Structure 1
Amino acid sequence: MMLALRSLLFNAAFYLFTLVLMVVWLPVLLLPRRWSWHVVPFWARLNIAALRWIAGIEVEVRGRENIPEGGFIVAAKHQSALETFALVPLFRDPTFILKRELRYIPIFGWYTARMKQIPVDRGKKSKALASMTRHAREAIDEGRQILIFPEGTRRPAGAEPQYKYGVVHLYKELGCKVLPVALNTGLFWPRRGFLRFPGKVVFEILPAIEPGLSPAVFSETLVRDIETVSDRLIEEAAEANPDLPVLERVAERWEERGKVPSAGHVHDAAAS
């Protein structure tokens, strides 16, 4: 009962904060982006604080020393809505690659346009790729950080990875570093779930992948690095939080994939 109440309160606070702040801050859209941008990390930090104090979810970030200077691509695992705002304060001037449809949401869409987020029309693959590349190159030239979720959509914790070609294309065309980010957010903020389970969410920033690799080697390296560490973070969370309901489904997904946990914590926690 308490879990449902805390989840309800956080969800209400999250959407209320977002709506109220977007309306109150509308005048900043008239300012140059370099000044108006600061409202976005403020909104993100407010939600992170609400997540901790209301839902009991702490956010830990590891590997900050791996963040390069200047413009580069950030390729993050995507398990929940949490990373769409929790990653923002980690970078100086980030821009997301997002669905074009989000531009049409009243008020919210105005912010994505003013903050020069990169829209992608997923229904027009070749044109969408060319447009995304052009905008991404402009962002890199401006010293910005391009945040992309290589799987294109949220994937449940423990699910078979499904990386798309977009990040490989950008790596090849832009010739810049790619910063992999592993995480375990789906254990505490399940995809399409209402409940928010208390515990420690971990984001781990891995060493950057340097430019110059072949597309095949880059793709293999990126998937291996992100998936290996994300699986380790799931096992760490299972050891610390053996009662997490999501662990049962994670164990089932890993069994379907023929994956054997290195320490057995996921299966032990799911069976307890």
Structure 2
Amino acid sequence: MTAVRSLLFNIAFFSWTTVACIGLLWMLLLPRRQMVRVVTWYMGTIHFLERTILGLDYEVRGRENLPKSGCFILAAKHQSAWETMKLHLLIEDPAVILKRELLFVPIWGWYAAKARMISVDRSARGRAIASMVEGAERVKSEGRPIVIFPQGTRTAVGRYLPYRVGVAVLYRDLDVPIVPMALNSGVYWARRSFKKHAGKIVVEFLPPIEPGLGRDAVLAELENKLEAATDRLVMEAGGPPTERPVKVPREDAAATVP
């Protein structure tokens, strides 16, 4: 039954997305904020397909931890494509940090550019973080939230990837709070998997990390809080906890060097 539901959903999703992307091209002529409202409506229709075809719904916890106004950094776990299609439903007018190459995807990239997302050219190396900060400063001046996936890519449930320094640089340079966003979407909608399972995905906003910490301190606090909350949600859904590497104390590590 899961395979049949997944097949029907994929047919409906890709068919409707193709129709919407082409049929809504006129949105590119609208002011940016009005276009974003239509994009948010489209995301709601995808949720409708998930709920009616897959039997997949979601629950949001911790909304009280979101700042009421102004810019903040939403540091989100990234387990599947599911959460990328819910960001506009979860927070208002987010600016997502994404790979610059995505802006060159036909039609989709036009919408992303019009929505003024923050693109990063990873091939530029030294310039990548600088361009990310420049884009983030523009977004801060607009009072919009910034979404970053601190591990840099989708990470399968139970797998560990280190947190990258970019989120700490934004935190330092923008002087705004970080709100960690935990979830368990990968249990139901696995990375690179055809099958999508019925159930209820949980998204949880954790208490903000206020400005003022150093780079290493904020990275450690973000990782510890976000991984612990994600493991709790994943295990609630019957998934495995993350196997994090054991950190060797400096003196022990030095002793192992011949």
| TM score, norm. by length of structure 2 | 0.91
1:152-185 deviation digits (Å, cap 9, x = unpaired): 1100101113211111111111111111000011
Secondary structure of residue in 1 paired with 2:123: coil
Give 1:131's aligned residue: 131
Distance across 2 between alignment mates of 1:118 and 1:35: 19
Secondary structure of residue in 2 paired with 1:203: strand
Q: Which runs of 4+ in 1 moved over 4 A?
A: none
* Letter in structure 2 aligned against 1:191: R
Give 1:269's aligned residue: none
Which is bigger in relative contact order (C-alpha 8 A, separation at least 6)?
A: 2
1:224-254 deviation digits (Å, cap 9, x = unpaired): 111000000011111xxxxxxxx4xx37x64
Alignment check: 8 A CA contact 2:73 2:148 kept: yes
Give 1:37's aligned residue: 36
How far 1:87 moved relative to its partner?
Answer: 2.1
Give 1:221's aligned residue: 221
Give 2:11's aligned residue: 12
In structure 1, list runs of 5 or more residues that go unmatched: 239-246, 259-272
* Letter in structure 2 aligned against 1:59: Y
2:195 is aligned with 1:198 = no
Secondary structure of residue in 1 paired with 2:8: helix
* Letter in structure 2 aligned against 1:92: E
Give 1:48's aligned residue: 47
Give 1:66's aligned residue: 65
Distance across 2 between alignment mates of 1:81 and 1:180: 18
Secondary structure of residue in 1 paired with 2:58: strand
2:171 is aligned with 1:174 = no
Alignment check: 8 A CA contact 1:71 1:144 kept: yes
Percent identity of paired positions between Structure 1 and Structure 2: 46
1:2-59 deviation digits (Å, cap 9, x = unpaired): 1111001112222222221111111111111022110111111111121111111111
Give 1:143's aligned residue: 143
1:172-202 deviation digits (Å, cap 9, x = unpaired): 1111111100001111111110000111110
Alignment check: 8 A CA contact 2:43 2:85 kept: yes
Give 1:98's aligned residue: 98
Give 2:79's aligned residue: 79
Distance across 2 between alignment mates of 1:146 and 1:127: 19
Give 1:152's aligned residue: 152
In structure 2, list runs of 5 or more residues that go unmatched: 247-258
Distance across 1 between alignment mates of 2:36 and 2:45: 15
Give 1:26's aligned residue: 25
Question: CA-atom RMSD, angstroms?
Answer: 1.4
Distance across 2 between alignment mates of 1:160 and 1:61: 24
Give 1:113's aligned residue: 113
How far 1:60 moved relative to its partner?
Answer: 0.7
Alignment check: 8 A CA contact 2:87 2:94 kept: no
Distance across 1 between alignment mates of 2:167 and 2:15: 33
| TM score, norm. by length of structure 1 | 0.87
Secondary structure of residue in 2 paired with 1:182: strand
Secondary structure of residue in 2 paired with 1:37: helix
How far 1:257 moved relative to its partner?
Answer: 5.2
